[in-house]
Amino acid sequence: MSRKLAFASLLAAAAAQGAGNQQTETHPKMTWKRCSAPGSCTTVNGEVVIDANWRWLHLDGGTDNCYDGNEWTGCSSESECTSSCVLEGADYTKTYGAKTSGDALSLQFVTKHEYGTNIGSRLYLMASQSKYQMFTLMGNEFTFDVELSTLDCGLNGALYFVMMDADGGTSRYSSNTAGAKYGTGYCDAQCARDLKFVGGKANVEGWKPSDNDANAGVGPMGGCCPEMDVWESNSHSSAVTPHPCETVEYHVCETTNCGGTYSDDRFAGGCDANGCDFNPYRMGVQDFYGAGKTVDTSKEFTVVTQFSEGLIYQFFVQDGVKIDMPNTTVQGVEGNKINEEFCKNQFAAFDDRDRFNEVGGWSKMNEALRGEWVLVMSLWDDHYANMLWLDSSYPPEKASQPGGDRGDCPQDSGVPSDVESQHASATVTYSNIRFGPIGSTVEV
């Protein structure tokens, strides 16, 4: 073996999906509480990191872009881009509109900055500078306060868990040297194909720039893992949704086998892209959630979510009053909890394919809940379906049919260009995160 080869591979290892040095990466600090019993919580000093996909990606050793707008520009092959492109540090407030203060994180939707315009963001809670904070959900309760009065139709303030690796993938994929410190290793139940790096490799060969999103595209590989959507919401609608996968950890899918949002057949992958959702409006209770309703979205409230074997239950606290999730009024579906019976009955009542069970159902979801999860806090708009699946009638032909109506937003709302121009300053604030055994995080 020649010396030259050894040297070349050493270089590659140093640069591959590595970190640049134009801007120091300094994570905003954010506290949260670990609870053991009601009134008995201790403060944890955490920090947050923005996802790698939002970062400036440029050629190592200079400032030439690797990726610009929605296209790869500085390199062309998987191996070349993987070895020569680096992720940059972030200016959280100026570039991304993300700010922390004490126990609160606020995300502003559109932020104009020196180099362009940022739309939305996705941040992860960290335990240290280079490790995500991991949460085992089974048997526990996750609680936070949210202020989302400015999130109108088409926006989604989403707080959820995904089974990312704690180190962002550095130990699983040696070509990833940036790791969690730079927000790498995202995955979800859509088997995300809009990521510039998947499994430590550049997702460049066959990358298709989006025709309606100036910043995004779809590549050949997708990052898959179970997803627990604790909270997908705006001021009109909310949903809590478990999404199991056959494989209960981070894994990579290829092209059409990925399924989900980014593939022709959304049922093709090994994850349940749709999930078993509880959206009170969709479950027939239209006066429960919204501005001036039982849970009044014009002001702050608390969301409590409990996880146990085969059972997920969410309730709310507002102005010191506990507000239970309402029972469904849909014919053939009962209760206010997500469990095996609810999911089975809901899919039947709404004539939806039971992908949940096809990928393993509660046996896989329970296995996932017993594992470790990363907390995601995000704000986004939807270039595929205008968020109508959350807050309006979807699919359009199912309007006023069982399961078709999900919120009071008009069918022509949520178009990203409209939302981005009309609600640029929309902001969601997540605060006062508490985590501990069921019953430990709130006193009501």
Catalytic residue IDs: 227, 232
Q: Shortest gap between Cβ of 327 and ligand NAG (angstroms)?
A: 4
Asked if 67 and 204 count as a contact pair (C-beta separation under 8 A), the reply is: no
Nearer to ligand NAG, 310 or 326 (CB): 326
Nearer to ligand NAG, 287 or 324 (CB): 324
Q: Shortest gap between Cβ of 395 and ligand NAG (angstroms)?
A: 29
Q: Shortest gap between Cβ of 396 and ligand NAG (angstroms)?
A: 31
Strand partners of residue 98: 107
395 preceded by a cis bond (ω within 30 of 0): yes
Nearer to ligand NAG, 308 or 327 (CB): 327
Q: Shortest gap between Cβ of 58 and ligand NAG (angstroms)?
A: 53
Q: Shortest gap between Cβ of 285 and ligand NAG (angstroms)?
A: 9
Please give the angle made by the CA atoms of 359, 272 and 138, to the nearest 5 degrees.
80
Nearer to ligand NAG, 280 or 407 (CB): 280
Q: Which of 183, 249, 262, 189 is nearest to 221 (CA)?
A: 262
Our finding on whether 308 is near ligand NAG (CB under 6 A) is no
DSSP assignment of 196-259, as one string? Answer: SEETTEE--TT-EE-SS-TT-EE-SEEEE--EEEEEEE-SS-EEEEEE-BSS-S-EEEEGGGG-
> How many residues at the interface with ligand NAG, by CB under 6 A?
4
Strand partners of residue 239: 232
Sole window of 78-86, 211-219, 250-258, 323-331 interacting with ligand NAG (rule: CB under 6 A): 323-331
Rounded Cα distance between 55 and 272, Å, is 29
Our finding on whether 336 is near ligand NAG (CB under 6 A) is yes
Our finding on whether 326 is near ligand NAG (CB under 6 A) is yes
From the CB of residue 122, how many other CB atoms can be counted at a distance below 10 Å? 21
Our finding on whether 318 is near ligand NAG (CB under 6 A) is no
Q: What separation in angstroms does the CA of 285 have from each of 223, 323, 338, 437?
A: 35, 14, 16, 29
Q: Shortest gap between Cβ of 329 and ligand NAG (angstroms)?
A: 10
Q: Shortest gap between Cβ of 316 and ligand NAG (angstroms)?
A: 11
What's the distance, CA 94 to chain centroid?
Answer: 22
Our finding on whether 327 is near ligand NAG (CB under 6 A) is yes
Sole window of 204-212, 321-329, 360-368, 397-405 interacting with ligand NAG (rule: CB under 6 A): 321-329
Our finding on whether 341 is near ligand NAG (CB under 6 A) is no
Please give the angle made by the CA atoms of 245, 246 and 248, to the nearest 5 degrees.
70
Sole window of 151-159, 174-182, 249-257, 322-330 interacting with ligand NAG (rule: CB under 6 A): 322-330
Our finding on whether 287 is near ligand NAG (CB under 6 A) is no
* Per-residue exposure over 300-332, b if at least 16 CB sit within 10 Å of its own CB, e if not: bbbbbbbbbebebbbbbbbeeeebebbebebee
- Three-state secondary structure call for residue 361: helix
Nearer to ligand NAG, 65 or 294 (CB): 294
Q: How many angstroms separate the first and last alpha carbons of the chain?
A: 69
Binding site for ligand NAG (CB under 6 A): 324, 326-327, 336
